[in-house]
């Protein structure tokens, strides 16, 4: 399961790197005069991004032919009426849309019109905490004390194998203002956590599907997440 953690971290670092390139492209490499870059570097500090990644991408931004990155969301219908949103930061839209479309086609998904799935989600700051790393009551007390809006428990299924539980997460939902306070509190209490990538999309309501659809959606989403341009994949599957 460590591989999944490492892949998540690589995505997080990758996204920060792309945001740095875009910020430097627009406003230069000095965070004192470039407030957008200063904000990205502040976020990088919060997410414990290694310094060499930051320096490498500031340098990369000045390379000839390097375009700024554009945020895009692609929407895909999965199995069993499930909606999937693919978050992308790309310096070539034609490449990223072709790659997402190809994976969707190969793994049984269907590209959706812009806006037809997105409205089922809301944007929020989220801290993810593995269920095996925290006591539920303690976590609730800390989160609510630090000003969290909500603590979402992972869905549980009666026949869940034990190892699946180790990959289940509580989601602590927060406003941007209270986010760093929540991270500090968790650090103080010695609770391991995974920060978000700047935000997460949370489904407003979730859809229950049968086991077969669930497995097929899992494969489709993991293949989408393997794409270089893709930073995150969200679903309203329960």
- When pLDDT is cut at 50, 70 and 90, the band that residue 182 belongs to is very high
Q: Which CATH architecture has domain 120-202?
A: 2-Layer Sandwich (3.30)
First to last CA, the chain: 21
Does residue 57 carry a pLDDT above 70? yes
Helix (H, G, I), strand (E, B) or coil at 18: helix
72 phi, psi to nearest 5 deg: -135, 155
**Low-confidence winner among 22-36, 61-75, 77-91, 145-159 (lowest mean pLDDT):** 145-159
Other Cβ atoms closer than 10 A to 72 = 16
Does residue 86 carry a pLDDT above 60? yes
Whole-structure pTM value: 0.85
What average pLDDT does this structure show over 136-159? 84
Tokens of 117: 């799935």
What average pLDDT does this structure show over 180-201? 89
Listed by start position, the domains of the chain span 2-60, 70-110+207-235, 120-202
What average pLDDT does this structure show over 22-35? 93
pLDDT of residue 209: 94
Helices (H), 190-233: 211-225
Q: State CA 210 to chain mean position distance.
A: 25
pLDDT of residue 185: 92
The fold of the 70-110+207-235 domain, in CATH, is Alpha-Beta Plaits (3.30.70)
DSSP string, 102-132: HHHHHTT-EE--TTTTGGGEEEEEEEEEEGG
Does residue 166 carry a pLDDT above 80? no
Residue written as token pair 């490499």: 29
pLDDT of residue 168: 84
What average pLDDT does this structure show over 105-131? 95
DSSP string, 148-207: -SEEEPPP--TT--HHHHTT-EEEEEE-HHHHHHHHHHHHHHT---B--SS-EEEESS-B
pLDDT of residue 6: 76
* DSSP element (H, E) containing 150: strand 150-152
In CATH terms, are 2-60 and 120-202 the same topology? no
Helix (H, G, I), strand (E, B) or coil at 101: helix
- When pLDDT is cut at 50, 70 and 90, the band that residue 156 belongs to is low
pLDDT of residue 127: 92
CATH number among 3.50.40.10, 3.30.43.10, 1.10.10.200, 2.40.37.10, domain 2-60: 1.10.10.200
Does residue 161 carry a pLDDT above 70? no
What distances in angstroms separate CA 62 from CA 19, 25, 56, 68, 214, one per listed residue?
14, 7, 11, 11, 44
- When pLDDT is cut at 50, 70 and 90, the band that residue 2 belongs to is low
């Amino acid at each position: 399961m460590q591989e999944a953690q490492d892949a998540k971290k690589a995505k997080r670092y990758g996204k920060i790197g792309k945001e740095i390139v875009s910020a430097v492209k627009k406003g230069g490499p000095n965070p004192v005069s470039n407030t957008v870059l200063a904000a990205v570097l502040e976020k990088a500090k919060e997410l414990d991004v290694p310094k060499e990644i930051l320096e490498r991408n500031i340098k990369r931004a000045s390379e000839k032919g390097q375009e700024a990155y554009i945020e895009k969301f692609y929407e895909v219908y999965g199995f069993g009426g499930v909606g999937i949103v693919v978050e992308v930061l790309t310096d070539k839209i034609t490449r990223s849309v072709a790659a997402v479309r190809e994976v969707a086609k190969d793994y049984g998904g269907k590209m959706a019109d812009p806006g037809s799935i997105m409205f089922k989600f809301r944007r929020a700051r989220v801290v993810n905490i593995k269920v095996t790393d925290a006591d539920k009551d303690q976590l609730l007390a800390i989160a609510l004390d630090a000003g969290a809006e909500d603590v979402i428990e992972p869905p549980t299924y009666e026949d869940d194998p034990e190892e699946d539980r180790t990959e289940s997460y509580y989601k602590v939902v927060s406003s941007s203002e209270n986010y760093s306070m929540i991270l500090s509190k968790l650090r103080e209490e010695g609770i391991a956590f995974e920060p978000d990538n700047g935000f997460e999309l949370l489904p407003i309501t979730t859809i229950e599907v049968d086991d077969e659809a669930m497995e097929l959606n899992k494969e489709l989403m993991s293949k989408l997440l393997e794409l270089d341009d893709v930073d995150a994949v969200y679903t309203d599957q329960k």
